[in-house]
Structure 1
Amino acid sequence: MASRNNRALVPQAKAGLDKFKMEAASEVGVNLKDGYNGDLTSREAGSVGGQMVKKMVEAYERNL
C-alpha cells in the first residue's frame, strides 16, 4: 500500500488554500473552524470539496 501524506508541495500556499476552503465552505453553508473540523459530516466535507473543484474548473476555463 502506498504511503499517503498531506504535505503541501508549496508550503507557502497553505494560507491561500485555507482562505479558499473557508470561502467555498461559506458559499455552501458549512461552518468551518480554524483547526480541527473532523466533526463535519461526509456530506458537508464533500460539498466543500466539490465547491472548491467547481471554482477551480471555472477559473481554469476562464484562462483558456
Structure 2
Amino acid sequence: MARRKRQPVVPEAREALDKLKAKVMKEAGYNVSEQSPDDVKYSVAKDMGVELAKGYNGTITSKDAGRVGGEIGGRMVKALIQQAKANLGKQAR
C-alpha cells in the first residue's frame, strides 16, 4: 500500500497552516518547534497513552490515530472558525 501524503487544497497555504498548528498547540501547552510543527503529534500521542513511533505506525488502531489527529486538527479548525467570524465582523462594518 502506498503511503498517502496529505496536501492542502492550496499548496501555498502549507506554511500558514504549519504556523497555525504551532500557535494553537503552544496555546494548549505543548512544546512545539516552528521548524517542525508536525512533531507535536508525538507529544499529544504520549499524553493520550498512544504508542506512536516515527515512521511506520500500522499497528495502532484507527481510533487511536483519530484521537491524536483530532486533538490537533480540532484545535486548528476551531481557530480557523474564530478567524473567519472575526473577518466577517470586519466586513459587515
Sort the TM-score into its range (normalised by shorter chain): 0.5 to 0.7
Match of 1:33 in 2: 53
Secondary structure at 2:36 match in 1: helix
**Does 2:21 match 1:21?**
no
What is the CA-CA distance between 1:40 and the residue it aligns to?
0.6
What is the CA-CA distance between 1:62 and the residue it aligns to?
7.8
Q: Which has the higher contact order (CA 8 A, sep 6+)?
A: 1
In terms of fraction of residues, the more helix-rich structure is 2
What is the CA-CA distance between 1:49 and the residue it aligns to?
1.1
CA contact (8 A) 1:22 1:32 kept: yes
Secondary structure at 1:30 match in 2: coil
Distance 1:56 1:40, change over 3 A: same
Match of 1:48 in 2: 68
Runs (4+) off by over 4 Å: 7-10, 61-64
Please report the RMSD computed on the Cα atoms of aligned residues, expressed in angstroms.
Answer: 2.9
Aligned residues: 57
- TM-score normalised by L of structure 2: 0.44
- Residue 56 of structure 2 aligns with an amino acid whose one-letter code is Y
Percent of matched pairs sharing the same residue = 34
